[in-house]
Chain A
Amino acid sequence: MLRIENLTMQFGGVVACSGLTAEVKPGQIVGLIGPNGAGKTTVFNVITGVYKPTAGRITFSPREGEQYQLVGLSPDHIAKLGICRTFQNIRLFSELSVLDNVFIGSHLRLRSSVFSSVLRLPRYTAEEKEHYEKSLYLLEKIGLQDFRDEKANSLPYGMQRRLEMARALATNPKLLLLDEPAAGMNPQETLELTEFIQEIKEEFELTVFLIEHHMEVVMEISEKIYVLDHGVLIAEGSPSEVQSNDKVIEAYLGVG
């Protein structure tokens, strides 16, 4: 699904990520962990085209037999190929309604022209109806159907996180990148979130790549985990392998 090879990202003299090689296989949930400032979000930003890496290749194959080089593509192009993300610091369209936030997620799949949208030609209205139905379904899925006309920024924090996920799902992604989905959630919410991620993964046939700080979440749902520290990959493997890795313990607890 996604193959990252020798990825290096430098900002001036700062090396945010150096020589990272990782792979996400179709249908997997893969975790990316590491202490603060380890360069995890940078990896996401490079995958989604926000940054152009200093060196390295990223290959994305949404379907069998299709392969795309992501380096050099713009974020919107990458989203159209089927990679969508959420943000660590929530980035909703805050003044717009909850429903519109999700609806806008479908915009990239719209085939009608702007003129058929203004004239409300049947072709466009049919597409719009389909997008709205999908948005409403997604809102129901995340339990926000009763808040659909509220402004996005009026929602409590946990709901905003879920709304971001619904918006990302509306783009019809093959690969979903979640940047700290459990940040700021209490244990109960965290538990619900893990179940939710597994559920949407099954239902929408997703592959999930997630950054997480809460070890319980990652350990619980990931099939494979990559551990970054200071931009360098220090460990990879199944949750239990990673948990017992000396370097990982050192990076997290500062033993040394």
Chain B
Amino acid sequence: MRDKQRTDLAALLALVCAVVALFLANKYLDDYKIRIINLSGIYVTLGLSMNLINGFTGLFSLGHAGFMAVGAYTVALLTMPISMKEMNFFFQPIVPWLANVEVGFLPALLAAGLISAFLGVLIGAPVLRLRDDYLAIATLGFAEIIRVVFTNTQSLTNGALGLKGIPNYTNIWWSWGVAFITVWFVTSLIRGSYGKAFMAIREDEVAAQAMGINLFKHKVMSFAFASFFAGVAGGLLASLLGTIDPNMFRITLTFNILLIVVLGGLSRITGTVISAVVVTVMMEALRFLDESINLGFIEIKGVPGMRMVVFSIILILVVIVRKAGLMTRLKGRESSYAEN
């Protein structure tokens, strides 16, 4: 009893501290840093959403970039002012039913999540019957198909030209607000009976099914929630950047999220949050590795992409030395139950 109250109090305290920190950051930091904070929030959402499928439900899915693309384009097309649409679609006019639509950010984000979740169910129905690496390949293929389709549907997505001038609604409160909602949602889901059923599927499918858990229904459920949040995060990203094109949503994007999830630990909520922030900040902080470095006596030529090598090495080390992730406590308490 005391245990649960203490956890709730700690969570509340952490939330208050986070809000104050965000408030101060928003007031005193420059645009570049605020943008990194925004990105961190978006990556928290993405990391948790991927962890729900790959960590808690134990399904190896690599389709995140695809769901993000769907969300990003939904938000872009729904929030863009009508005049801006005309400017963007000079090559071929936009489909008439989208030409005169302009909605607020919140409904656009919700639409992004729902369309993405709907697509998740549609894709999930056939591919979730596959296991492990087959599932990974199928979902990876799905993400690539989305990208190729978006490149070629000129009158819907403006194709390879991309979309410019998407209104910048995303600020610290949006990106972190969504991140907090995701943390709450995933935590609450995992503590409940459905979340435990997800973990049971991860532990042993045969036993889970023998205990009456409908594997297909629960896998699709987990997949739909994850794609919902991936879609919303994609929408936030589109609105943060202001410019999107299909090539943004390549496998490398999914890889970045996977990196966050593995470093933070599969099935670790706190781990994912911390790792999302650390990885996003490091991605920027390590930018000097891509440029040439002058050590005084010797000059090292810059190699673009050098910082990714650092992350890859860290990832390899983690997988070899600490499979459970950097943030894992030795004894997991997430599953322990405190009587109310």
Contacts and interface: CB of A to CB of B under 8 A. Distances in A.
A108 B221 contact: no
A125 B192 CA distance: 9
Contact of A76 (B185, B214, B333): B214
A117 B197 CA distance: 12
Contacts of A50: 206, 210
B193 A96 contact: no
Contacts of B221: 114
Given A76-B215, A93-B200, A93-B203, A110 B193 contact: yes
Contacts of A127: 193
A118 B214 CA distance: 19
The secondary-structure label for the interface of chain B is: helix
B217 to A, nearest CB: 9
A98 to B, nearest CB: 10
A107 B185 contact: no
Q: Chain B: interface residue count, which band?
A: 20 to 34
A94 interface: yes
Which one of A93, A95, A100, A125 has the highest number of Cβ atoms from chain B below 10 Å of its Cβ? A93
Interface string A16-34: 0000000000000000000
Interface stretch (A53-61, A80-88, A185-193, A213-221): A80-88
Nearest to B217: A76
Contact of B209 (A75, A128, A151, A167): A75
A149 B204 CA distance: 19
Interface string A59-96: 00000000000000011100110001101000111111
9 contacts: A91-B204, A91-B210, A100-B196, A104-B200, A107-B200, A110-B193, A117-B193, A118-B185, A124-B193
Interface of A: 48, 50, 74-76, 79-80, 84-85, 87, 91-97, 99-100, 103-108, 110, 114, 117-120, 124-125, 127-129, 131-132, 148-149, 151, 167-168, 171
